[in-house]
Structure 1
Amino acid sequence: MLFRIKLISDEVENFLREYLIEDDATFLDLNRVILTSCGYPDDQITSFYLCDEEWERKKQVTREDMSLDRGASYEEDIYVMETTRLNELIEEEDQKLEYVFDPFAERVFYLDVVEIVPAQHIGEPQVVRSIGKAPTQIEDLSAIDMPPKGAGVGVDEGLDDDFYGSESYNSDEFDPEGFEVSEDGR
């Protein structure tokens, strides 16, 4: 069987990719054809999310197993792209997925299984439709307003000038007897 999967972006108008991929291909195979068709390098920790009809994330398929203790039991199953086949998680047409292509800014593509084609074999995944230019994979972090190096970020240099009303402090009003500790600790 083949899956016909449509990919779109909410960032770029008139951008679309459509793929044919065998149902027993891995999510890593799908990851690679997406990266190649968009002209992205394969150097990010991308991930897929299977979503419900409302686009709510349900299951994650990660590039790498990021769990610290591989022997621990988890409430949720961990799916890794290299070992998870598409047909293990995709069971019907209209299955919705998100593909996180920019993990730093959580930017995603939206995928939809538009057709399941029975009894065909194509070998390698194919791009069957390509419209428009993909958005930049990683946002330019230098475009974000950052203070110059050495600037005290969020630090008020004059903070201790009048810290909690210290100008009105009068040492003659201080009663040290109120701060004495008795022998029995009370």
Structure 2
Amino acid sequence: MIYKFRVILDAKEDIFRDIAIEKEATLEDLHNTIVNAFGFDGSEMASFYTCDDEWNQMDEIPLFDTGDVPGETRIMNNFILEDNLDKYESKIIYVYDFLNMWTFLVELAAIEEKESGETYPALLFSHGELPEEAPDKKFEAEGNDLDDDDEDLDMFEGDDSFEDYGFEENWN
């Protein structure tokens, strides 16, 4: 079986790629296909994130294990597409290059029979040009986490307890 995905750049403009990939492929294979479809060089870190139907980000699936305990974190090449995405769980978020935060909404659009003579993965359709820079993101805090009136912001104001640590004013 073949999974057909629509990969949409999270931007105001319509920029997307339709990709076909075998159901036995891993998330790392999908990552490589997305990198090629959008013309990235593939040298940056990336992660997929599980999400709900409203695209709310949940669990991270990184390209490499960057955890404190080797092997503790499941990485992209441990996730087979058919074991993690289906017609009921069809959405996943992809972030490429954590400095620029290229963010893509990836949705499983169809599951179809393999076409004879076709090679997979395949770029089926391309719409829109990738901008020079990643679209700006507005990150929001839940509730009032970033209120200017927050007393926690001033918790060290007037606190002289750090003066006796032996550092001179111009210690470096």
Partner of 1:23: 23
Kindly provide the CA deviation profile for residues 64-102 of structure 1, in whole angstroms up to 9, marking residues without a partner as x: 011111366xxxxx3312232111211225611111013
Equivalent of 2:103 in 101, 108, 116: 108
Distance 2:39 2:71 in 1: 37
Identity %: 25
Matched, 1:79 2:74: yes
SS at match of 2:42: coil
Distance 2:3 2:88 in 1: 8
SS at match of 1:108: strand
Paired residue type of 1:14: D
Q: What are the ranges of 5 or more consecutive residues in structure 1 without an aligned counterpart?
A: 73-77, 140-163, 165-186
**Of 86-95 and 24-33, the range deviating more from structure 2:** 86-95
1:120 Cα deviation after fit: 5.3
Matches within 5 A, 1:1-186: 1-11=1-11, 13-70=13-70, 78-92=73-87, 95-118=90-113, 122-136=118-132
Kindly provide the CA deviation profile for residues 86-138 of structure 1, in whole angstroms up to 9, marking residues without a partner as x: 11211225611111013124330111111111465754200000011123466
| TM-score using structure 2 length | 0.68
Contact kept in structure 2, 1:101 and 1:137, CA below 8 Å: no
Distance 2:133 2:81 in 1: 24
Larger radius of gyration: 1
Distance 2:130 2:110 in 1: 23
Change (3 A) 1:133 1:94: farther
Partner of 1:184: none
| TM-score using structure 1 length | 0.64
Q: More helix per residue: 1 or 2?
A: 1
Distance 2:125 2:71 in 1: 43
Distance 1:110 1:120 in 2: 26
Aligned residues: 135
Contact kept in structure 2, 1:2 and 1:22, CA below 8 Å: yes
Contact kept in structure 2, 1:9 and 1:16, CA below 8 Å: yes
Contact kept in structure 2, 1:24 and 1:87, CA below 8 Å: yes
